[in-house]
Chain A
């Protein structure tokens, strides 16, 4: 077996306690790609991201990052390697202000040295955050919190940014803004792994996509092909 992608999952089985959720999930992401993972509620998308990021340990299977087997690594070591997650529910530090949240995003050694540059970078991407440096995260609106969560993930200067439903609960205008930002990030060399329920928007900006149903990958291919497949259109695009 040749491992050549930036991130690769081989036959991952995972779940919670006795609950088996993911069944032999294999997928890969090339450097510079935007790849989406689509599926309905409870299909196992968040669980997949938890296994990759190290929030949970898989029952079996392997995860490779930059050709290194990271399956047994604790989460903080994976973050240190450049694997960042913008988690479901944002998971900000509610009683810290914007700058403090971003400082925590730069907690790793890899991020520490370039803190000022990274700060400028994310303030350029999200000018709103710059205007409100001292606002507590807990008092921000949902859209602002989502931007802060993405910015916090970027402070680590990740090689790959994994995002769990970044458009969840946002007004259409903000959804557009978030997807524009994702495209901008790709141009700046950040590889993106995107989990979404908003399948149409995700497929429009993705290079490739995987579809997961009840814990199994059932389809995968170039985003354009998936967009034109009848089964995808019926199940996920409502067409």
Chain B
């Protein structure tokens, strides 16, 4: 059986994972807020981010955090490509928002199939110093790789928040999400904002994938599913359209999953997440942070 310190260890790991859930969910939340589109390929783009890190580190021998920047930029471009193929052609048509469920599902199938063909279903991982170096604090032990993944996730979420609050282009993103007609009326190029937002959302997922890849033993073509589900839960939990809520909700979901791993065994750990999720939907359908943080 586990000792108490082992529990603390597991919860630390899942708290860290929760921070990355927050980053992944932020991408979804931005996309939903600006164009009311559901991106079913979000987890798959995270998977592509994992492979981007895997290949750039193993083939080019570069630092995994340079690989994370590469993944951010590459997936940003991929995201814009997906947007132009799957979102923009339908989004202004009648029923277009619902149509994105199908078009992004198509993208998801394509990304997974191509990944299976190119990279086989076998799980991979890669060695790096960050994963094998540990930090000790308050009796907890965590790899440097996990600590960095958590920190970079939180910093990135704060950076996006500042972009939306202070930069003119970021304010235009908020304007489109609050009132698309009003945004067009003041001369904002709304299709361009949509393109950029989708690209940014996918870039964040790609970066999250690369960050996780530094310590995750399971880089494989279907790795995205868990992330899709976790990040949708986080988005709805946080209340749509809130930024800091995403951090807290991510961490809460991470810890919940950790508690699931402790009390229900690893294989069933997600059940607890869904139970908590259903409770939130029943008791506070606007999300835990929906009202207090709406002003972002």
Contacts and interface: CB of A to CB of B under 8 A. Distances in A.
Given A95-B294, A104-B172, A107-B172, A79 B185 contact: yes
A108 interface: yes
B178 A94 contact: yes
Nearest to A81: B187
Interface stretch (A25-33, A84-92, A173-181): A84-92
B187 A107 contact: yes
Interface-central residue, B178, B184, B186, B294, by most chain A CB under 10 Å: B186
A103 interface: yes
A100 B171 contact: yes
Interface in A181-236: none
Contacts of B168: 103, 107
Given A76-B187, A76-B189, A79-B186, A91 B181 contact: yes
A80 B184 CA distance: 12
A80 B185 CA distance: 11
Interface residues of B, number: 20
A95 B94 CA distance: 27
A93 B188 contact: no
Contacts of B186: 79, 104-105, 107-108, 152, 156
A76 B294 contact: no
B187 to A, nearest CB: 3
Contact of B175 (A54, A79, A96): A96
B126 to A, nearest CB: 44
Nearest to A109: B187
Nearest to B172: A107
A51 interface: no
B178 to A, nearest CB: 4
B182 A92 contact: yes
Nearest to B181: A91
B171 A103 contact: yes
Contact of A76 (B174, B175, B179, B188): B188
Nearest to A155: B186
B131 to A, nearest CB: 42
Given A74-B189, A103-B171, A104-B172, A94 B179 contact: yes
A10 to B, nearest CB: 24
Interface-central residue, B171, B182, B183, B294, by most chain A CB under 10 Å: B182
A136 interface: yes
A55 interface: yes
Contact of A87 (B94, B178, B181): B181
11 contacts: A54-B184, A75-B187, A76-B189, A79-B186, A87-B181, A93-B179, A95-B294, A96-B171, A96-B174, A103-B171, A104-B188
Given A55-B181, A87-B182, 9 more contacts: A75-B184, A80-B187, A90-B182, A91-B182, A91-B185, A92-B182, A93-B175, A103-B168, A107-B186
Interface of A: 17, 53-55, 74-76, 79-80, 84-85, 87, 90-96, 100, 103-105, 107-108, 136, 152-153, 156
